[in-house]
Chains A and B, each alone.
Chain A
Amino acid sequence: MTGGLALDCRDVTVRFMSERRAVTALEGVSLALEPGDFVTLLGPSGCGKSTLLRVIADIIAPTAGAVRVFGEAPSVARQRREIGFVFQDASLLPWRNVLDNVRLPLEVGGRRGAVPVSPEALLEMVGLAGWEKNYPHELSGGMRQRVAIARALLGGPRILLMDEPFGALDEITRDRLNEELLRIWRETGTTIVFVTHSIYEAAFLARKVLVLAPRPGRVRELVTVDLPEPRGLAVRETPEFVRLAAHLRRVLEGL
């Protein structure tokens, strides 16, 4: 039974052909999340963390294994709009202003009922009130990601999948967005799966860190984070955080 779990991945394996060579992107990865969990997927490039996110979002079909999102197949969850996805490059449509970008989910994929939180309120939540009429090329990289987060939250998804959303940002912007993401997580209560290759980001954000190894992508260890909540950036200076980061680094290196 998978009742009650927000996400249940069992022995997920993904293989695909690349230049006449079979590549194993993921090998027997399992992960179970409670509703409201925050897990970060941490690993070097080639460990399949983005692939796992795409399997959960029904973008890639697994070669073997089973995935359940709130007890349903990913395709069902996707069609019911239970999945929100934030990409690394924000993927805003440049010909739409900020508000129309957030409203995009209302215009495609069939008629939907009223959304629990209005696009305007979501923009306020991500700190972009007053920017509704601006176009993406007028925004900074951090602001574009805020728009992408607001768009992913429209319709109140039960699980939010984030693929290195702050990877291309400068460290100062990244820190601020990390703090704000934790606030948004508390306010919405959504389950978050967050891909990163930064140890500090992984440890700061999550309740659990799934450390992955590359070629083939497989689980090294699921590390539970016992830092106090709600967290501010200052937590990164505590001995507990430093110990956790050191442990994650050792796990990453397979020691």
Chain B
Amino acid sequence: MEDAAWRAAQRRRVWRGRLLPVAGAGALLFLWWAVVAYFHVRPFIAPAPEVVAITLYQKFGMLMDNLAPTAIESIGGFVIGNLLGIGIATVFVHCRTAEQAFFPVAVFINSIPIVAKAPILVLMLGNGLAPKIAISAVICFFPTLVNMARGLEAVSPQAVELMHVLSASRWEVFWKLRLPTSLPFLFSALKVATSTAVVGAIVGEWIGSQEGIGALIIQATYNFDSALLYAVVLCGSAFSVAFFMAVRLLERLVIRWEAASGH
């Protein structure tokens, strides 16, 4: 009996956790609508929520046509930038000389703001998908390099001694010990990289592009089409969130051993 009561209470807690965020978002939407309606805010300054919804519905095809290149650029940049980060971190861990020689260079390149790096890459790579992918890759690269290098070094000294007693080769220590140890570090970098990759692609499109979320943002702003601007931003963030959730799902599938510690 007590057990049933406890379970009912547990169920109520779960539903509270689900419903409250929905209620909060609903309340803010209502507030937005009320402010626009009450103060007669003009449409080119901020649109009413229902106008944004109608725009989303009517221009859905056009929005998706523009989301596609941005998605390709950010996923491409994500893959390339992170693979480079992982690869170079692996080299750094095995070769101190390389780390000492090139890490400061990586820090320097990372310290250049992305809006300054973007035109340089556009000049180098032209106007197609390539410069956007490159910008997105550059922005993903550094956090992954730092986190991955830290993860590969995060092995316990006793585990290293154990591998030595077992006469394991450097390669075996890498595959059996360092790489699995680094995975939680890698995934926290990857999760951050999902949103930065999208930012990189959009910034790339601002510099010079006829299509994509970034190009559409610029067009909508210049035309004072606030409803379209809001709809585009919503599409971009929906993609960012979906990208993040996909990487988080992958993390949960790969890293099962830290379920208890809730990393």
B173-195 with Cβ < 8 A to chain A = 176-177, 180
Chain B: minimal CB distance from A50 (Å): 10
Number of A-B pairs whose CB atoms are under 8 Å? Answer: 66
State which of B46-54, B61-69, B157-165, B242-250 sits at the interface with chain A.
B157-165
The 8 Å CB contact of A91, one of B159, B176, B259, is: B159
- A107 CB, nearest partner CB in chain B, Å: 7
A59 and B166 form a contact (CB under 8 A) = no
Interface residues of A in 56-98 (CB under 8 A from B): 57-59, 78-79, 81, 83-85, 87-89, 91, 93-95
In the complex with contacts A59-B165, A94-B257, A137-B260, A108-B158 CB distance below 8 A: no
- Asked whether, in the complex, the Cβ of B176 is within 8 Å of the Cβ of A87, the reply is no
* Residues of B close to A94: CB separation below 8 A: 257-258
Instruction: Pick the contact of B162: A85, A95, A138 (CB < 8 A).
Output: A85
Chain A interface mostly = loop
Chain A residues whose C-beta falls within 8 Å of the C-beta of B166 in the assembled complex: 81, 104-105, 108-109
Interface size class of A (residues with CB under 8 A): 20 to 34
A57 CB contact (under 8 Å) in B165, B180, B259, B261: B165
Q: Are B177 and A93 in contact (CB under 8 A)?
A: yes
Given A78-B165, A108-B166, 16 other A-B contacts at CB below 8 A? A57-B161, A58-B164, A59-B165, A83-B165, A84-B165, A89-B156, A89-B158, A93-B159, A93-B177, A105-B166, A107-B172, A108-B163, A108-B172, A109-B166, A109-B167, A138-B260
A–B pairs, 13, beta carbons within 8 Å: A57-B161, A78-B165, A79-B167, A83-B165, A89-B158, A91-B159, A93-B177, A95-B180, A95-B257, A107-B172, A135-B257, A137-B258, A137-B260
